Every structure is written in structure tokens, then in C-alpha cells.
Structure 1
Amino acid sequence: MTGCVAVIPARGGSKGVPGENLRRVGGVPLVVRAVRAARAAHGIDLVVVSTDDDEIARVAAGAGARIVRRPAGISGDTAASESALVHALDELAADGLHPRVLAFLQATSPFIDVDALGEAVGRVLAGEADSVFAAVPSHAFLWQRTAEGVTGVGHDMSSRPRRQDRDPQHRETGAFYVMDTAGFTAARHRFFGRVDVAEVLELTAIEIDTADDLAAASALAGLLDRPQPVDVDAVVTDFDGVHTDDTAALSSAGVESVTVSRSDGMGVALLRRAGVPLLILSTETDPVVSARARKLRVDVRQGLEDKATALREWAEERGLDLGRIAYVGNDVNDLACLEAVGWPVTVPEAHPDVRAAARVVLTRPGGRGAVRELADLILAARAARGPAPAHAGAPNDDGRLS
């Protein structure tokens, strides 16, 4: 018998926010955020994503989830989440898995409190509660319209006690529900037996139902997301605005020149020495780009109308997983590439839409150390997971290996 299984229902159809479960917050698809939260929570032994959608299945499996294919009959707009949970439990039982505890997570809650989730799992496993759900304590005064007018809900209109003199009520966030499996199977509902709450911070309690919710979550991601090691296998970059400051000098003879950073050159050299493949993609065909790529000794592809296709082709040629590639861009023509990879990265002065799509916003500007900053983050992640590969030679001051 398994201790706890987390199930994340994530169907493909969504009317409020089309493609909702694959939409990105902080550069990460919502379903992946939920899978990672469940995998990080103490006490959860297996993470399952129940879906009817091929792309959701692919992305969730890449994040470490087991996939249960949900039948069409319980994948429509009117299907209750409980039906997906029961189906997932039946599929697991067919494989001999009978979890004592079921954790139900919703991908539409992008900021799941991992510690609170783990504590809730522990309480149900210990028999201290049968059902525990995420909630925010609230001292709000609620009102309701009736045929007679507006009336107070749960409070006396003639008495306005101070906040500190009132016990809080709790607002359900929808982020997670942890249940005794036997009790849930009997009740077919998430609230039964001894019900309790797991308090979470109000700032994290956003649930995405509309495009405005998605925009608000994206704005909060930079504040709430914990920094993660940039653990990637390859780096792909735009040129203008990343290797340069996005400006150019034009001589009277019509010759264009740009300014690049020796620090960035060193960063590229260090990545090459660590065995990290690099590629520069550029919309324009420019001898400046070719010259810089030769200097750095990295692949380059120019004159591209569709950079995302070139990115995918390059990755496929080298057997690289897009989920483990960092792409660095700065403007709207980089959005398709940023959406294609697992690590969308941008510079601080990037277009607002690009910043919103990024998983990492660097602190150094384009052409002024941004590439070196990313290189340092990648190399630090590699150092944390094991010794660097052996190499010969050392980079000189312009980033070349001697």
C-alpha cells in the first residue's frame, strides 16, 4: 500500500482561459508547477496527472508525473473533479496501488504552498483529520443582496467589533485537498469526516479562472517563486539585445558596428569548456553576427523568419530535450522560442511581454554581462550536482580557450 498519491486533474478543454493548464506563470506551464509542488511536498510518494490531452500528458510526464488517460465521458465542462479522482484511483488499483491518502491538487493554483501541503498529508496519514484543505484566514465583512436589500452575512450590522476581537473565518483557496482515501471512496466527495484547514498566505491564494487572473499571477511570480538552479543542457540566444545592448553605430560609409562584452565572451567560453552547446539565432543576416559567432566558436543561424522552428531543428539534430534548454531573448519575436523551452530567460530591459514569459529575469543588461550572468548560474547548478567535466586549457581575457 502506498502512503500518499497526489492526483492533478488537467483536461485539455477550457473556455475561461483557452489552453489553461499549459499556460505559463513565471515561465513554467501551470500543470508543471503543480507537478513540481507535489513532488517537493513531504509525504507524497507518487504524482499522477489525469488528462485527455496529448500535450499536457507530454509536458507533465517530462516533469515527473505518471499519466492517467481520462475518458471523454469525464473530460467535459460539466464533469466534476471527483470523477477524475475516482477514475485515477481505479486505474492505480488495477496496477496494485492502493494509497492510504489522496492529495487532490489543482493546476489553476500556481503558488501551491509546499510546506502546508506536506503538513496536511502528515496530519491525514497520522489520523488527525480525514480531510484537510488549503484556506486563507479572513476577517472580511461579507454582504448579500436579497429581495429586502443588502444584509450582513455572519455578522451583526449594528456591531462592528475590531479585527482582533473576532475569530477568523476561512476562505477555501482551491489549491489542494488532502483526504483519507477510504473515506473519499465512500463519500465520493472531498469533505467528509473530520474536516480541517491548512492555512496558507493570502498572497499565494490566487486561482486562475480568467485572463486577468493569469496576468496577476504572472506579475506575482517574480515575488513568490523561489530561485531555482538553472540546470540545463544547452543555451540558445538571440543576438541583438542579448549579446549587444540593442544599439548600433552607423558610419558615414554605411558600416554598422555594435558593442559586445568581454565578460560575456568569458561566460561563453566557460560554458563551452563545461560541454554546454550554444547557438545564436538572428532574424537578420549580418556579418557582425557571423564575426561574433566565429570569435566565440559557437553555432549561428541567421536570416530566420521562424526562429522557433530553427531552435527545434537544432535541438533535434543534437538529441537535446527542449525542456532542458535555456533560451535568452529580449523582444516579442523571441516569444515563440521562449515558450518552446523549459528555461525561458530574458534581460531586465526586455519588452514587458517577454519579461512576463520568462522563468528567469537576469540582472545584467544585454551586451553588459547578461550572458556571463546566465553562464555563472548554469555552472553553479552543475557544480552543485557533481564535479565539472575534465577539460584542457583555460580561457583568456577575451573568452577564447588557449
Structure 2
Amino acid sequence: MPQDIPSASATTACIILARGGSKGVPGKNLRPVGGVSLIGRAVRAGRAAEQVAAVYVSTDDAEIAVEAALHGARIIDRPAELSGDTATSESGWLHAVPLIREDLPALDKLVFLQCTSPFTTGADIDGCLAEMIAKSTDCALSVTEDHSFLWGFDAEGRGVGINHNEREQRKRRQDLPSQFCESGAIYSVRLEPFLRTGQRFCGSVALYPVNHPPVEIDTLDDFALCSQLAQAGGACEISADRLARVKAIVMDFDGVHTDNLVITDQNGIESVRTSRGDGMGLSHLRSSGRFAMMILSKERNPVVLKRAEKLQLEVHHAVDDKVAALESWLGDRGLGWDDLLYVGNDVNDRGAIEHAGLSACPSDSHPEILGISDWILPLPGGHGALRAMADAILSALAPAAEQDR
């Protein structure tokens, strides 16, 4: 995902505040969830939003700046006086506005993203902005629906129902009045009222319900929970609609099907490790009958052929020019680059990744590939990355299959 060059006529930008001095969890913004750092996930979500022209990260930390730039953010140096524990988020956002206006003179809307909400998507951001526009409000925020029975204390310190009457027959949760909890992920504002009030809630407010795990990361336990959710495939950064448009899947071999290691014996015979889980996932994709599938490898090792035979997949190996090979392969099948999901992990995959309509890479890929891939799979190569990919694609296809019945 190379850095965007925003048009001077663009009207919407995203700001992410990411200081380096977290005390609860040191280095929090650089810690990974599903193979991607929190700051990387936030930047990628902002860049995936169709209405956002550019993503800016305001930080006082050099490592965060490098990581954010890798994923396509523009960097704003955050002054020390705005980076301490007592500095408000609003002060950081207000500091960024004049700098953003140098790139976007037509700026009139801002999106504020929080790194601590790792499952935000571009569609969520677009939805929040659209709700603000549709309701003609000054600001909007992401919320999750809450069906809790809330309690408080009366004047004598005894428990009393807040959104229910404890003295009446117990209601069903779905019969409680509608209520929502801030998700903490997305805040959008119109620029003029935000500058006038200096507050994120700068006037009338729209609520945008989001449907993702309602977790804000504050502790190591939160990291562990979110990592499990990401690896289980329940929080894919690519929309279901986009996945459902894939017609061809082509994968590199080393570092994608394998862990990128090779065992060489005293006779020079090489062997590699692959994942049975990956094999099962690819089998399900192949059995669906919806995809043209191939392994495309630069390697000349016969192990590539044997693994492809085991998986019942077409294979082209000893290929140096992958773009030319894919151009021919797609043309022979009446397909184009927009139909292709290409999965690679290293610099020799760059050309194919840049041409493919959708690209993916394992979480332990070369940094250059992590920076340009549309989809970072939540697991390393040879350790379930392809299974996570397969599960996400098949999940995206499930609603369409249900309609076809």
C-alpha cells in the first residue's frame, strides 16, 4: 500500500494520534495483532476508506513514524508538550489541522481513528462519514448496540434499575430501550465546528453502529484476546464484497506454502515444511469450483511439483518473470488482473502484487511486501496463513451461496 498523493481538491483526511510513551503496555502502538502492529492496522483502515484522501499519523516516536510510513501514512511530528499523559486528544488533532491543510486546502471533514480498536475497517469509516452527512450533523461516532441491564444507586445506596424497572416483570433484553456504547474506534467531524469548539462532539451528533468485536486494547490480556480473534479469521481487513469478486488465486511457494526455511542433508537434498491446515483450506477453495488456482514459483526444486500434485493444483515453477507468466495465464482463461488474488511474500513478488486486483501476504513477509499488500494475512507462511485466507474467502461467499439455493 504505497503512500497516497492526495488531490488538492480532496475534502476528507484521517488523523491518528500514536505517542510512544504508553505506560500500561510499553510500546503498545507497535505491538502486533494478527501479524500487524496496532498503528499499521489503523493506517490501513484509514487508507481503505473510499472517502478518505490521506491518512496522517501524529507521533513523537521515531519507530512509530517508520512503521506508520511503511503502511502508507504521512507523518506529523507531535511536539513534546502535546505528547504527555495529560495532553488531550483534541490538542493533538488541532495541532495537525494546519499541516494537513497545506496538502488539502479544500479540507472540510476529519476522521479521528484510535489505534486501540484493531478491527476497524475502511467500510466502517465510510459508514460513519456517510451517517454524519445523511443526518446533517456536525459530528458522528462509531457505537456498538448494548443490551445490558444497567444499575445504579438510589439515595440510600440501594440498587436501582436505570434502563429498567426492577419492581416490574423482568423484560427481555430485546425489549429494552435502544442504547449504544461508544466503540472508541472512529470519530468524524466537520472541520468548521470542530475548530470553533475545539471538541470532538462539536454540535449535533450522529451514531453509526459497527459490527466488530467491542474490544479496546489497554492490557496484555486484551492483546491476547484480539490476537485470537484475528487468527480465527473473524476480523478480515478486506470487505466481503471485495473477496466475493475474486475469480483466480495464484500463490508463491516458498514463504507462502512454507515457513521459508529449508532443510538440506549431507547429500544436498532439500526438504521443506508445509501446513496440513493450509492444505485443507485450499482443498475447500478448489472444491467450491469458483476459482482458477495455481502455484507460481521461481524455485526449480521438485518439491514444488510434488506439493502441487498433492493439493491437485496447477503449478508453474522455474518462472523468473511472474508478471509475464500471469498475463498469459489469465488471458488463456478469459480473466483480467482485476479478477486475481495474488499471494506473495518477498521482493520478487512485487510486480505481481502491484498488478493484481487484490494482493495478500503472510504476516512474516518482507517489509517491502507488507507495505504494499492489500491484505496482510494473520499468520506466518507455512503456519496457517493460507488457511486463514481460504476461511475468509469462503465466509464471504457463504451469503451468496445461500441466496442461490
How would you bin the TM-score normalised by the shorter chain?
0.5 to 0.7
CA separation of 1:15 and 1:233: change in aligned 2, threshold 3 A: farther
Distance 1:327 1:178 in 2: 31
Distance 1:84 1:66 in 2: 15
Aligned position for 2:236: 225
1:47-126, aligned counterparts within 5 Å?
47-94=55-102, 97-125=105-133
Structure 1 counterpart of 2:165, from 136, 152, 156: 156
Aligned position for 1:23: 31
Aligned position for 1:14: 22
Distance 2:365 2:145 in 1: 37
Is the 8 Å Cα contact of residues 131 and 206 (structure 2) preserved in structure 1?
no
Q: Which amino acid aligns with 2:16?
A: I
Aligned position for 1:210: 219
Aligned position for 1:177: 187
CA separation of 1:268 and 1:93: change in aligned 2, threshold 3 A: same
Aligned position for 2:261: 238
Distance 1:261 1:235 in 2: 9
Q: Displacement, 1:41?
A: 1.3
Find out whether 1:186 has 2:196 as its counterpart.
yes
SS at match of 1:136: strand
Distance 1:339 1:150 in 2: 56
Aligned position for 1:40: 48
Aligned position for 2:208: 198
CA separation of 1:88 and 1:210: change in aligned 2, threshold 3 A: same
1:289-344 superposed Cα distances (whole Å, 9 cap, x missing partner) = xxxxxxxxxxxxxxxxxxxxxxxxx98xx9x9xx999997xxxxxx9x67967367
Aligned position for 2:177: 167
Q: Which amino acid aligns with 1:133?
A: L
CA RMSD of aligned residues (A): 4.1
Q: Displacement, 1:75?
A: 0.9
Aligned position for 1:133: 141
1:273-292, aligned counterparts within 5 Å?
273-275=319-321
Q: Displacement, 1:219?
A: 0.9
Q: Which has the larger radius of gyration?
A: 1
Moved more, 117-126 or 187-196: 117-126
TM-score by length of 2: 0.62
Distance 1:275 1:81 in 2: 49
Is the 8 Å Cα contact of residues 4 and 99 (structure 1) preserved in structure 2?
yes
Distance 1:217 1:268 in 2: 36
CA separation of 1:232 and 1:191: change in aligned 2, threshold 3 A: farther
SS at match of 2:51: coil
Q: Which amino acid aligns with 1:244?
A: R
Distance 1:209 1:105 in 2: 16
Moved more, 229-238 or 80-89: 229-238
Q: Displacement, 1:116?
A: 3.0
Distance 1:48 1:363 in 2: 30
Is the 8 Å Cα contact of residues 43 and 122 (structure 1) preserved in structure 2?
no
Distance 1:43 1:23 in 2: 28
- Paired residue total: 298
Q: Displacement, 1:171?
A: 0.4
> 5+ unaligned residues in a row in structure 1: which ranges?
247-258, 277-313, 329-334, 365-372, 378-402
Q: Displacement, 1:207?
A: 1.1
Q: Displacement, 1:244?
A: 3.4
Distance 1:67 1:85 in 2: 13
Distance 2:89 2:49 in 1: 21
1:258-297 superposed Cα distances (whole Å, 9 cap, x missing partner) = x966434889984651447xxxxxxxxxxxxxxxxxxxxx
Distance 1:150 1:231 in 2: 60
Percent of residue pairs identical = 35
Distance 1:242 1:24 in 2: 30
CA separation of 1:262 and 1:272: change in aligned 2, threshold 3 A: closer
1:294-305, aligned counterparts within 5 Å?
none
SS at match of 2:229: helix
Distance 1:53 1:130 in 2: 32
> 5+ unaligned residues in a row in structure 2: which ranges?
1-8, 264-269, 276-301, 323-345, 371-375, 394-405
